[in-house]
Amino acid sequence: MNRKKTDNGKRRHPVLRVLLGLLLAAVVAYLGVIGMVVWKKHHLPPVEDYDAIIVLGAQVKPDGTPNLQLQWRLDAGYEAWREHPCLMVVCGAQGDDEPAPEGEVMRGYLMGKGVPEEMILADTTSFNTRENLQNAAALLAGRDVKKVLIVTSDYHVPRALALAEDEGFQACGIASPTLGGWWLVKNHTREAVAWIKYWAEKAFGIEIHNYNFRIHGIEPHDGE
């Protein structure tokens, strides 16, 4: 009986070592992706001429105003518009805890800073970055737009540019600041997960929606 228990233990130990090895490899790989996020945000491609500005949405507070991170994105977009007035696209749907669609709040904020209403196109139905850019492309279709400037938080710019390229955009990007402390850690770790999701979507030709876990095929862009 003791020999049987010993033999079973010996058989289990290699399996346990393999599982622990796989877990360790996954943790190391995930930390590597976080490191990539940090590296990429500090090595953005230079900003070139652009014909339109796309500002990506973030949280709207219960009082209907942009939260600080969204305000920083809008302020960076506004400064880019002041330097080079052109069409602006603001993107974001209404979350369950938001009093209005992010796109509407963003348009109102920019109009309050002096951007004419006719120069702002609002997407109010997109729930993630891919949808932001798909809807922005639809709003800009038929207009003389060759290159876009994407404005979002620093950690988010590289993936936004990758998704913009998938949608057929020629794009460059500028970064707005990110909240520090716990928010810095949270945003970068979540962005690492988003990159893993992005690579999975590219590899398998699917789109995974965060808000309802719906999966469907990604339609290739005509230019691909």
Tell me: the pLDDT tens digits for 112-138?
A: 999 999 999 999 999 999 999 999 999
Q: What angle do CA 73, 40, 45 make, to 5 degrees?
A: 75
Starting at the edge strand that comes first in sequence, how are the strands of the sheet with 148-153 ordered?
120-123, 87-91, 52-56, 148-153, 171-176
Q: What angle do CA 191, 28, 192 make, to 5 degrees?
A: 5
Tell me: the pLDDT tens digits for 77-113?
A: 999 999 999 999 999 999 999 999 999 999 999 999 9
Any idea how long the chain is? Answer: 224
Q: What is the pTM of this model?
A: 0.83
**Beta strand ranges found along the chain (DSSP E):** 52-56, 87-91, 120-123, 148-153, 171-176, 206-208, 215-217
In the chain the first and final C-alpha atoms are separated, in Å, by 65
- Locate 170 and state its tokens: 């020629």
41-73 b/e (C-beta count within 10 Å ≥ 16 → b): beeeeeeeebbbbbbbbbebeeeeebeebbbbb
Map 74-86 to HEC letters.
HHHHHHHHHHCCC
- pLDDT for residue 59 is more than 70: yes
- Locate 41 and state its tokens: 């945000």
- Locate 131 and state its tokens: 């949808």
* Structural domains present in the chain: 52-179 (3.40.50.620)
CB-hemisphere CA count at 13 Å for 201?
24
- Locate 122 and state its tokens: 């609002």
Tell me: the pLDDT tens digits for 166-185?
A: 998 999 999 999 888 888 89
